[in-house]
Amino acid sequence: MDERDLLKTKLGTGSINIFGLPMCGKDTVGEKLAAYFDGKLLSSGAMIRHYEAENQQALTADGSLAPTDLFYEIVLPYFDKVELKNSPLILSSVGRWSGEEKEILRKTIESGHPTRAVVYLKLAKAEVIRRFMLNLVGAGREQRADDASLKVFLRRLNEFNQKTLPVLEYYHERGLLIEIDASGTREEVFERTLAKIKQKLN
């Protein structure tokens, strides 16, 4: 059994949750981890944007997080999907508002996807703003409503600092948190993340 197969066995159908400021590379790392572990990627942002589109609502367009009760209504049913039952889950910022982490931990256990690690991709505020400005002029990812203006983007940064940092502290206290320097190339960040996950699973 090679190292990758061994790590896949250790993770089993568990989950890894990824957090960080906007533009830090969460979805990129998530996609690479999902491919490495043959897992499924669940992004709370993508799920909420899908709900907004279907219901013609703009819940997060101003940069605010979705209310907790609505977040639960939208996101929690995904964990019970039959097609996810036998796969590990890579979660992208699932449970960003302080207090939601307890329900996410409970739900991941209940659904057979216990949280094995929580990744915090750390990037300086100046760098995420630089990346945002590049994206704004068309050099980055596909444009989204919550990336449409600097004012909205700064609100998203504030939401992270006020509501999500306490979530990460909770995971730190429980020995689940992995902190990663998210500067550098996408491949460098992924390799750093994978190395820390290996340590956590061993």
What is d(CA 59, CA 29) in angstroms, rounded to the nearest whole number? 26
What is d(CA 8, CA 36) in angstroms, rounded to the nearest whole number? 8
DSSP string, 29-71: HHHHHHHHHT-EEEEHHHHHHHHHHHHT--SSTTSPPPPHHHH
Q: What is the pTM of this model?
A: 0.91
Spatial contact of 89 and 113, defined as CB atoms under 8 Å apart: yes
Task: Look at residue 61 in the predicted model and tell me its pLDDT.
Answer: 75
Query: What number is the average pLDDT over the span 144-156?
Result: 76
Q: Extract the tokens encoding 200.
A: 């956590």
pLDDT tens sequence across 164-200: 999 999 999 999 999 999 999 999 999 999 999 999 9
Domains and CATH numbers, the chain: 3-201 (3.40.50.300)
pLDDT band, residue 57 (cuts 50/70/90): confident
Q: Which of 65, 110, 96 is nearest to 170 (CA)?
A: 96
